[in-house]
Amino acid sequence: MFDLQSYLNGQKELVEKYLDESLPMGEPAKIYEAMRYSLLAGGKRLRPILCLATCELLDGDRTSAIPSACALEMIHTMSLIHDDLPAMDNDDYRRGKLTNHKVYGEDIAILAGDALLTYAFEYVARETKNVPAQRVVKVLTILTQAVGAQGLVGGQVMDLECEGKIDVSAETLSFIHVHKTGALLEACVTSGATLAGAKEKDLHRLSTYAKNIGLAFQIIDDILDVTATSEELGKTAGKDVTAQKATYPKLWGLEVSQAKAHELVESAMAQLDIYGDKALPLQAIAQFIVKRKN
Ligand code: FPP
Ligand code: MG
C-alpha cells in the first residue's frame, strides 16, 4: 500500500538537500544569509514535491524538474518574507522561527525577497538540463505569470484591499485565493508537466486538479487559523480575525468550509483516475491538503 507519510517525508528530505545546494553562500554575506535563513527554514515543501511528482507522473526525467522545483520554493519563500513585513501582515513568526525582517531588518528582508525572486528565474534558466529549450521558456512563462499582477501580486493586493471590510463577496474571496495561493500551486503542476512534455489534454486535466487543490489548501489554511494553536502552525494563530481578513470560515462557517474543502479534493482526485496507480503521489498530496494540521 502507498504510504503517504513516508512518501512525503522522503521527498521533503530530498527537497531540503536540493534547496541547500541551490543557494550557496556568496558576497555580500548578509544578503545570502538572509536568503538562506528563510529558504532553509523548513516547511512542508509541498510546491517542489508537486512539481517533481507531476513530472514523474508523465514519465518525465525527474532531474530536469529539480531546478523548477527549487525555484517554486524560492518564489513561495519570498512571497512569505514580503507578506510578513510590517507594511503587509506584520507577522513575527513563520515556520516556527522569527520572521526575516525581525532577524535582518526590513531593508534586508525586502532585498532578500527580491533576490530570491530573481534568483529563482536565473536558476531555472541556467540549471534546467536535458529538455528542449522551448520547454524551459514555457516554464519561465508559467512562473512569471503566476507571480505578477495576474497571479500572487494581484491576489495580495485584493487581500489587502478587503482587510477590515465586512461584506466581502464569495466571488472576491475566490479571486483572492485563486490568485494569492492557487496560481503558484497550479504553476507547480503545469511546470512539472511541461518539463515532461505534457500534451494539451494532460495539461488541462492536471491544471483542473491543481485549481481544486489550490482552493482546498486555502480553505484549510483559513480553518487552521481559527482552530490550531500558534505552536502547531509555527506562526501566529488567529491573525485573520484580528486583522479582519476575508476568509471562508467567516463567510460560510467552519463546517461548510470543511465540507467544501473535501468536495474540492474529491474533484481534484477524479481528474487523476485516468493515470491509475501512477497518480498515487498526486492523490496522496491532495488528501494531505485536507488532513494537514499546519
Ligand atoms: C500568505 O497568505 C501570502 C501569500 C500566499 C502570498 C503573498 C504575496 C505577496 C506578498 C506578493 C509577493 C510579491 C511577489 C513579487 C511574488 P496569508 O497571509 O493568508 O497566510 P499566512 O497566515 O501564512 O501569512
Ligand atoms: Mg500573512
DSSP per position, 67-78: HHHHHHHHHHHH
- Per-residue pLDDT at 164 exceeds 90: no
Which residue carries 488567529 as its cell?
238
Summarised one tens digit per residue, pLDDT across range 29-65 is 999 999 999 999 998 999 999 999 999 999 999 999 9
Provide the grid cell at 284: 496522496
Grid cell of 23 as nine digits: 543557494
At 133 the pLDDT is 97
HSE of 117 in the Cβ direction (CA atoms, 13 Å)?
17
Of the bound ligands, which one is closest to the alpha carbon of residue 220?
A: 1
In the chain, DSSP finds a helix count (H) and a strand count (E) of 16, 2
Instruction: Tell me the pLDDT band of 2, cut-offs 50, 70 and 90.
Output: confident
pLDDT digits (tens, 9 = 90+) for 55-106: 999 999 999 999 999 999 999 999 999 999 999 999 999 999 999 999 999 9
Kindly report, residue by residue over 179-194, the tens digit of the pLDDT. Answer: 999 999 999 999 999 9
Ligand 1 atom at minimal distance to the Cα of residue 83? 10
Which range has the worst mean pLDDT, 25-34, 139-148, 279-288?
Answer: 279-288
Compute, in angstroms, the gap from residue 79 CA to the centroid of ligand 1.
Answer: 5
DSSP for 185-211, written as a single string: HHHHHHHHHHHTT--HHHHHHHHHHHH
Pocket of ligand 1 (CB under 6 A): 79, 82-83, 88-89, 117, 147, 152-153, 156, 180-181, 235, 239
- Fold topology of 4-291: Farnesyl Diphosphate Synthase (1.10.600)
Atom of ligand 1 nearest to the CA of 159: 19
Determine the distance separating the centroid of ligand 1 and the alpha carbon of 134, expressed in angstroms: 30
pTM recorded for the entire structure: 0.95
Domain ranges in the chain? 4-291
pLDDT value at position 28?
A: 97
Distance in Å, CA 104 to ligand 1 centroid = 19
